Amino acid sequence: MLDFFTIFSKGGIVLWCFQGVKGSFTGPVNALIRSVILQERGGNTSFTHDSLTLKYKLDNQFELVFVVGYQKILTLTYVDKLIDDVHREFRDKYRNQIQQNGALGLLNGSFDFEDDFNFLLKAAEGSSKAPPPLKMKRYEESDKSKRTVKSMIEKPGDKTKENNKKNKASKKENTASEVIIPPNKGGKGNTPAVPAEKEELTSEEAMKRNREAFFKKKGGEKARKSPKPESVKEKGKKPRVWDGGPVNAKELDFSKPVVNGNAEEQADPDDDLLAPMRERSGQMAGKLLDVECESSSEEEEDEEEIPTVKSNTSAPAKPSNKKSSFGGMFGMLKGLVGAKSLTLEDMEPVLEKMKDHLIAKNVAADIALQLCNSVAKRLEGKVMGTFSTVTAAVKQALQESLVQILQPKRRVDVLRDVMESQRLRRPYVITFCGVNGVGKSTNLAKISFWLIENGFSVLIAACDTFRAGAVEQLRTHTRRLNSLHPPQQHKGRTMVQLYEKGYGKDAAGIAMEAISYARNQSFDVVLVDTAGRMQDNAPLMTALAKLIAVNMPDLVLFVGEALVGNEAVDQLVKFNKALADHSMAEKPRLIDGIILTKFDTIDDKVGAAISMTYITGQPIVFVGTGQTYCDLRSLNAKAVVSALMKA
């Protein structure tokens, strides 16, 4: 049984609705509009909200949306047929009124669709019913009952006649398969000629003889070939010189012997590493810079769709050039959409190329397929201009969809939220989680440096009690950050401090103690570092869910690599599922934002950003672009999409 069926315009005007049960369906429909239609996630035709399943269909020509809702525990096989039939009937019946007066014209005039809908609903329900079981035939109705008794009696001579027929047929096949080798005409390396009347060979013998002759011929050619001279390899290793690298690079070979028994004094490595930070100290205050992506200013159209035809008056034209020019002009006119509505057949080859392009740019295969399906549903039935091409229309729609996906549903402003926590006299807590080796501790240190540059004090909670060396790594970062911002610059107050209790302890308890310590010592921000864990590790995922449920951080950030493709989808889906399954709260806390690391190593293959935001619906808050504390950026959606669409 259906809960409701509604038809409304994309402008938000409800044209008609059917209610099978009492109650309001405004909430589920608004959730569908907000989470699917506006976010360009139309790859799937169904959407689940609380206990309801919603299916929808878009009419791009008349800007209409058809939505049906029913309980998700039910399996209604006729819903897809019903929504297609209602869409077709509604268009055919009110086409002229919508074209003349628009959607408002239906509300102003006589409008009754109740009887038509009930008829279509009964027809759809009747077609979904299982057919009745087949009735068994009686003996009188079978073919065997019509045969006579005489025709069913077998005689002893019948079998011998059948065997003789089979033997004759097999002899004919054997004679047809015999092969006679033709006489030799004097070619080298061939087998000697045998007259056909003297020797008759079977197919197996002929194949064996030809195979032996072939191997003899190949063996003689290999013997005549001279062996290749062996290349002389140079002994010893040479330092690699990178193209475009620094000319006066510091030599890092420390294996050379010490001259005169005196080793040269070496400077503190921290001084060399922190020198660029000291020069740029104070430049990261305020909002982070946007990430920069290489992209072409204006891309050329596909040559097969709109070729470039050049004329040459000085040289005589060749017939082949005329033919290719004519074919090119014909292809250009063929690629134009002459003021007609787009169909799936028109868009299918272009969408297939777009899907392959997205997968090549590191977008997960499932996400690329859903994006192309969403674009197809968005453009199907839409009337294009006279001089518009299918490629241009699909590409423009895909770019708009990608920008809409990367733009967050909610804005995460860390500095604003920290100042709000200051007003409430409590620390702002950020928890970092992710798989092993993605750079959680390094990016935690970058965010610490950015917060210190903006005048906030930071307490780092070392809750990675599983990996050896994790506490020492955070201690090193704390020492370097304090050397960049000594207490003398901040009225004797230490701007960053490490809270650690060693290894093998409960991470949730350490985080709780760190937050309490930060509240007593008036720290502005608490950054909780957790152990890296694979998404399939149930014990560690349970511990992470416990840490988040007990301490209730203000922001849960998932740290992911920009290098991954399909793996990003698996990581995020399983992280969210594990946090939901192992959470002890009524409403489980999931991932609030994403940190995308190693962004400087991927050139224009930025598809991981699309995959992560599409799966979670959460924004990319920070982007790591290097190995220093200053290499932290915010995401620029248009720049990323421009790099993604670059050929």
What's the pLDDT at 529? Answer: 93
Q: Mean pLDDT over residues 453-461, rounded?
A: 93
Least confident of 184-198, 347-361, 543-557: 184-198
How far is Cα 23 from Cα 7, in angstroms, rounded to an integer?
Answer: 17
Reply yes or no on whether the pLDDT at 304 is more than 50. no
Q: Residues with Cβ < 8 Å from 223, sequence gap 6 or more?
A: none
Residue 476 class from Cβ within 10 Å (0-12 exposed, 13-18 middle, 19+ buried)?
A: middle
What's the pLDDT at 583? Answer: 74
Confidence band for 461, pLDDT divided at 50, 70 and 90: very high
Confidence band for 354, pLDDT divided at 50, 70 and 90: very high
Q: Which of 76-85, 235-244, 451-460 has the highest mean pLDDT?
A: 451-460
Domain boundaries, the chain: 4-127, 325-406, 414-638
Q: Mean pLDDT over residues 307-322, rounded?
A: 40
Reply yes or no on whether the pLDDT at 360 is more than 60. yes
Q: Mean pLDDT over residues 108-131, rounded?
A: 79
Beta bridge partners of 524: none
Confidence band for 201, pLDDT divided at 50, 70 and 90: low
Structure tokens at 177: 């398969």
Closest by alpha carbon to 217, among 193, 187, 241? 187
Q: Residues with Cβ < 8 Å from 385, sequence gap 6 or more?
A: 337, 339
Q: Mean pLDDT over residues 7-20, rounded?
A: 86
What's the pLDDT at 234? Answer: 54
How far is Cα 465 from Cα 510, in angstroms, rounded to an integer?
Answer: 10
Q: Is 439 left (phi over 0), alpha (psi -120 to 50) or beta?
A: left
Q: What is the DSSP string of 321-335?
A: HHHHHHHHHHHHHHH
What's the pLDDT at 180? Answer: 46
Are 534 and 520 within 8 A, CB to CB?
no
In three-state secondary structure terms, 7 is: strand
Instruction: Report how many helices (DSSP H) and strands (DSSP E) the chain contains, helices first.
Output: 19, 15
What's the pLDDT at 318? Answer: 44
Q: Note the Cα 49 to chain centre separation in Å.
A: 23
Structure tokens at 457: 């004090």
In three-state secondary structure terms, 556 is: strand
∠ CA 384-386-391, nearest 5°, is 60
Reply yes or no on whether the pLDDT at 11 is more than 70. yes
Q: Mean pLDDT over residues 6-25, rounded?
A: 85
In three-state secondary structure terms, 624 is: strand
pTM for the full predicted model: 0.65
248-297 confidence digits (pLDDT tens): 555 555 555 544 444 444 445 565 556 666 666 666 777 778 777 655 44
Q: Note the Cα 406 to chain centre separation in Å.
A: 13
- For the chain, give the percent of residues with pLDDT over 70: 71
Reply yes or no on whether the pLDDT at 175 is more than 80. no
Backbone angles phi, psi at 559, to 5 degrees: -100, 120
Confidence band for 207, pLDDT divided at 50, 70 and 90: confident
578-606 confidence digits (pLDDT tens): 888 877 667 788 899 999 998 888 888 88
Q: Is 339 left (phi over 0), alpha (psi -120 to 50) or beta?
A: left
Are 640 and 609 within 8 A, CB to CB?
yes
Q: Mean pLDDT over residues 349-362, rounded?
A: 91
365-413 confidence digits (pLDDT tens): 888 998 898 888 888 888 776 667 888 888 888 988 888 888 877 778 8
Q: Note the Cα 322 to chain centre separation in Å.
A: 44
CATH architecture type of domain 414-638: 3-Layer(aba) Sandwich (3.40)
What's the pLDDT at 187? Answer: 45
Of residues 484 and 245, more confidently modeled: 484
Q: What is the DSSP string of 358-404?
A: HHHTT--HHHHHHHHHHHHHHHTTPBPPTTEEHHHHHHHHHHHHHHH
470-523 confidence digits (pLDDT tens): 999 999 999 999 988 887 677 777 889 999 988 888 899 999 999 999 999 999
Backbone angles phi, psi at 105, to 5 degrees: -65, -30
What's the pLDDT at 189? Answer: 45
- For the chain, give the percent of residues with pLDDT over 90: 18
Are 445 and 481 within 8 A, CB to CB?
yes
What's the pLDDT at 192? Answer: 47
How far is Cα 558 from Cα 545, in angstroms, rounded to an integer?
Answer: 13
How far is Cα 510 from Cα 530, in angstroms, rounded to an integer?
Answer: 11
Least confident of 2-11, 186-195, 303-312, 637-646: 303-312
Reply yes or no on whether the pLDDT at 151 is more than 90. no
Structure tokens at 191: 């087998």
The reply to whether 414-638 shares the fold of 325-406 is no
Q: Mean pLDDT over residues 226-252, rounded?
A: 56
For the 325-406 domain, the top CATH level (class) is mainly alpha
Q: Which residue has the tokens 């027809």?
A: 123
Of residues 37 and 477, more confidently modeled: 477
Reply yes or no on whether the pLDDT at 439 is more than 70. yes
What's the pLDDT at 268? Answer: 53
Are 383 and 61 within 8 A, CB to CB?
yes
Confidence band for 554, pLDDT divided at 50, 70 and 90: very high
Closest by alpha carbon to 7, among 78, 133, 94, 101? 94
557-583 confidence digits (pLDDT tens): 999 988 887 787 888 888 888 888 877
Dump strand ranges (E) for 98-186.
none
Of residues 543 and 42, more confidently modeled: 543
What's the pLDDT at 169? Answer: 61
What's the pLDDT at 457? Answer: 93
Beta bridge partners of 428: 525
CATH architecture type of domain 4-127: 2-Layer Sandwich (3.30)
Average pLDDT taken over every residue of the chain: 77
What's the pLDDT at 428? Answer: 96
Reply yes or no on whether the pLDDT at 316 is more than 50. no
Of residues 78 and 323, more confidently modeled: 78
Q: Mean pLDDT over residues 610-625, rounded?
A: 89
